[in-house]
A = this chain, B = another copy of it.
Amino acid sequence: MPKDKQKKQPRPNAEPPRGFRDYVGGEVIRRQAMLATITEVYHRYGFDPLETSAIETVEALGKFLPDTDRPNEGVFAFQDEDDTWLALRYDLTAPLARFAAEHRQDLPTPFRRYATGPVWRNEKPGPGRFRQFYQCDADTVGSANPAADAEICMMLADAFEALGIPASDVAIKLNNRKILNGILETVAEGASEETAAAVLRTLDKLDKAGAEGVRQLLTTGRKDASGAFIPGVGLTDSQAEACLAFLMARRDDNAATLAELRQVVGASAQGIEGVEELEAMVALMDAAGYATRVLVDPSVVRGLGYYTGPVFEAELTFEITDEDGRLRQFGSVAGGGRYDDLVKRFTGQSVPATGVSIGVDRLLAALSAIGRDLGQASRGPIIVLAVERDRMPAYQAMATELRRAGIRAEVALGAANMGKQLKYADRRDAPIAVIEGPDEREQGIVQLKDLALGKRLSAEIETRAEWAEQPAQRAIARGDLVAGVRAMLADEDARQ
């Protein structure tokens, strides 16, 4: 009765907005399995999940205040009916700060929480750069104890282990922002905030520019690879020397590195505090058996200006071939550190906090690179072919039997002929097709067609043409359906 009125309107484009994408099947399952594995570790460390809503007030998010009519720098913002500016969260830390400030009277101290979920950035999309992506964070709010930082590092090591990444492939590196601050305090007394930030950015370039390049950039500047001149930060040679001594202080083991750092910081009170925090962390991790899994490495700088103490970074050290065909280490997949001022925006009181964020997409890519498939459950279903239309109830009963035995199964509903149904089964990556035609029915049997083996054989078709002509098929009694399917699946697993 209702008539279609939509013909008069132009047809909408069937595509997601630019910079957004869809995740299907195994992509969803693999990410969920990875996040479940990681958060199970977080949970075992006493962390509780927190899920804030996707939308916050722009005021609470901070950083992006509406100085123009419409605040849209970096975030997706819009105005509520009561004129409040709202925005989609751009990370999981800002909502945590809002939540911790809101419930500071009721929360246990410290408050350990983990969170996973999408965040949104209103940025120019590009190849591989999306405007919605997942984060996976764990933070401890309310403890200034270096044990809280040590816990995060050990937890990170455990998470990689739980994901099946060998300890030999992971480097968790540890540094302390206070040491650098202490050195700058000593060697460049009264340096401006801008100079300090410029030094931080420059030290972060050790990988690309090398020690000599960093020395030039800290002082008078240098030409980069393209020949362009990059001006220097303006430190004296001896100031730059002190910074480089810090940057290069890593030795063979944590004890030696810490001894070197003691030398480097000299008499700076802040620097000594930073070294002592690292010593406390190392002692804790040694006692818990993580001595060689978390290494003090002063070359870890991490860009974000808000870190105030220990900073850490997890790198995967196995090699992959990059887009240009060159071998390189996989690189950073997680990072974090201590930040003591985020809650202060709301309450005026400094609240010590430390945490880590895992790059979900990069870690997924890493797992795929080392062949770890967490998506076991993403195997295609058994397909019961619908050979005779009027026998649908019998086919449905077969699928139900299989499901009750915990086996993923469905009846082919689409095409009418067997050939097309088998094509559908192929598309679904179905390991087995169940076939009961009139002949089988009379004999009380069903045919199990091993599609996985069939695929394997047809890949070898050139050398073994005769095999491809006889794809693997077994006739079993109808009553043995579940047992027969189980046996064939076990055979397939054994072949892998």
Contact = CB atoms under 8 A, between A and B. Distances in A.
Interface in A136-186: 140, 142-143, 145, 147-148, 150-151, 154, 158, 181, 184-185
A78 B77 contact: yes
Interface stretch (A285-293, A445-453, A479-487): A285-293
Contacts of A428: 46, 108
Q: Is the interface of A mostly helix, strand, loop or mixed?
A: mixed
A55 B408 contact: no
Contacts of A32: 49
B410 A45 contact: yes
A154 B15 contact: no
A50 B32 CA distance: 12
Given A28-B50, A48-B24, A140 B413 contact: yes
A377 to B, nearest CB: 6
A5 B232 CA distance: 27
Number of copies: 2
A82 B18 CA distance: 10
A60 to B, nearest CB: 5
Contacts of A20: 53, 55
Interface residues of A, number: 119
Given A78-B78, A193-B1, A406 B60 contact: no
Contacts of A99: 14, 22
Interface of A: 1-4, 6-7, 11-18, 20-25, 27-29, 32, 43-46, 48-57, 59-60, 62, 72, 76-78, 80-82, 84, 86, 88, 98-99, 101-102, 108-110, 112-113, 118, 120, 122, 131-132, 140, 142-143, 145, 147-148, 150-151, 154, 158, 181, 184-185, 191, 193, 196-197, 280, 283-284, 286-289, 305, 341, 344-348, 377, 381, 383, 392-394, 396-397, 399-400, 403, 406-411, 413-415, 424, 427-428
Given A14-B101, A53-B132, 4 more contacts: A16-B60, A17-B53, A110-B413, A147-B413
